[in-house]
Amino acid sequence: MKKPYRKETICIQSGWKPKNGEPRVLPIYQSTTFKYESSEQMGRLFDLEEEGYFYTRLQNPTNDCVAQKICELEGGVAAMLTSSGQAANHYAVFNICEAGDHVVLSSTVYGGTFNLIVNTMKKMGISCSVVDPDSDYDTLCAAFQENTKCVLAETIANPALVVLDIEKFAKAAHAHQVPLIVDNTFATPINCNPFKWGADIVTHSTTKYMDGHAMCVGGAIVDSGNFDWSLYPDKFPGLCTPDESYHGIIYTEKFGKKAYITKATSQLMRDLGSIQSPMNAFLLNIGLETLHLRMPRHCENALKVAQYLENHEKVAWVNYPGLKSSKYYELAQKYMPNGTCGVISFGLKGGRSAAEGLMDKLELAAIVTHVADARTCVLHPASHTHRQMNDEQLREAGVNPELIRFSVGLENAEDIIADLEQALAQI
Ligand SMILES: *Cc1c(COP(=O)(O)O)cnc(C)c1O
């Protein structure tokens, strides 16, 4: 048989591989701790001399199986789960940045990520330059500094729906000897594999399509194994020089292509502790089993809804990268030829107040602070997720005050459109 398997097969089969007589379904290792017969062996585990489980804050078998599935879907070499998408982006950056370092950040990233990097990590001594993801290569390069350690951007920005020119970003990052970290939450590995286009690290808020049912907050980090940290020991001392908290081991020497994820697990998880619960990982795994079926339907429904809105007289504009009229149509065709995501944004001719009015009239589409799950939902970022931003920051983030974020679910597309129709008729 052909290996590695195709994505549909990975969604179903990867991760848990039961041996003779073991449970067919991934077990929930609902245990904080693991038993050993010799004290010496336990010591070796603590020294990272031997692989094995000892405490769920560091590693848990249920979590590792699910991380392995996501790793294979992305085509990476190592992966870990985190308690949330926020924790994933925090760890992905903090694993290679410390006080005095600098990050290049795409201006259109998710509001929570923007806040994390621009405000909270600043308090940790890490500065950043915010760049327009559409800027040309030279402008992008001008954002780098001597102390830059990584670039962070989203495949499809939430909620601006800007499609990242991954190759352009990867080229700029590599020209400055730093990795490109891509948050691939909206596209999912079903629609895009950023590693194929030069990204080095991928992060996910598994809370969105991967879970897909709005049940569990979670995150993941995947390493492509392609970035050779050992070429730049001065830039990445945390990976390339002895870790005194682990008897002087050097991650790149001891763990090779798994150095980055091993360091994030053994240092950041150990000290900061944003672990995903095994129960949530189990539920996430059920979501992953149908991801390959759900994503095409999300995209198909979203395209129908976007086309409907585009032709409605009360609608001022529609932004969906799957529409031919979208400025990002070509980039989307290149990086995500099978579809982008189920999220649409649009504005009404009546502006901000009409947006609020429409939301109150919708019946099937629920107002929730969520996006990217099976049920159609709607949100007004300027009054909800992005309310901590001022007007200038909103514009930089590609979020204009009237923007409605509409997350198209898996219901019948005609019913979703009928709901919009009745709500639009009332405003
Ligand atoms: C939701 C989201 C996050 C944050 O994830 P949580 O799981 O809510 O912590 C990060 N990035 C993107 C693109 C998101 O949509």
Query: How large a percentage of the chain has pLDDT more than 90?
Result: 86
> What would the two tokens of residue 88 be?
């994933």
Q: What is the pLDDT of residue 329?
A: 98
CA angle at 77 for the pair 277 and 18, rounded to the nearest 5°? 55
What phi-psi label fits residue 273: left (phi over 0), alpha (psi between -120 and 50 degrees) or beta?
left
* Averaged confidence pLDDT in the chain: 95
Question: In the structure encoding, which two tokens stand for residue 308, read together?
Answer: 């409907």
pLDDT, tens digit (0-9, with 9 covering 90-100), for 237-274 = 999 999 988 889 999 999 999 999 999 999 999 999 99
Q: What pLDDT sits at residue 328?
A: 98
Tokens standing for residue 45: 């585990």
Q: Where do we find the tokens 């579809």?
A: 339
Mutate to test the pocket of ligand 1, among 86, 181, 280 (most ligand atoms within 8 A of CB): 86
Q: Which helix (H) or strand (E) holds 219?
A: strand 219-223
**pLDDT-derived band of residue 67, with 50, 70 and 90 as boundaries?**
very high
Examine the pLDDT at 147 and tell me if it is beyond 60.
yes
Ramachandran region of residue 117, left (φ > 0), alpha (ψ -120 to 50) or beta? alpha
Decide: 328 in ligand 1 pocket, CB within 6 A. Answer: no
Instruction: Check pocket membership of 85 for ligand 1, CB cut-off 6 A.
Output: yes
pLDDT in tens, 159-206: 889 999 999 999 999 999 999 999 999 999 999 999 999 999 999 999
Residue 139: count other Cβ atoms within 10 Å of its Cβ. Answer: 12
Is residue 226 within 8 Å of residue 90, measured between CB atoms? no
Q: Is residue 208 lining ligand 1, measured as CB closer than 6 Å?
A: yes
% residues pLDDT > 70 (the chain): 100
Which pLDDT does position 2 carry in this prediction?
A: 59
Question: And the tokens for 121?
Answer: 């990590």
Rounded mean pLDDT, 4-13: 96
Per residue in 381-397, pLDDT (tens digit) is 887 877 877 778 777 77
Mean per-residue pLDDT, 299-312: 98
Banded pLDDT at 317 (limits 50, 70, 90): very high
CB-ligand 1 contact for 63 (6 Å cutoff): no
Phi and psi angles of residue 371, each rounded to the nearest 5 degrees, phi first: -160, 155
pLDDT of amino acid 1? 54
**pLDDT of amino acid 246:** 84
Task: Give the pLDDT confidence score for residue 211 in this predicted structure.
Answer: 98
Minimal CA–CA distance to 284: which of 338, 206, 348? 206
pLDDT of residue 247: 84
User: How many angstroms separate the CA atoms of 272 and 100, rounded?
Assistant: 20
Tell me the CA distances in angstroms from 427 to 89, 345, 349, 353, 422, one per residue in order: 40, 18, 11, 10, 9
Confidence (pLDDT) at 375: 97
Q: Let me know: does 61 contact 29? Beta carbons within 8 Å.
A: yes
DSSP letters of 261-326?
A: HHHIIIIIIHHH--PPPHHHHHHHHHHHHTHHHHHHHHHHHHHHHHHHHHT-TTEEEEE-TTSTTS
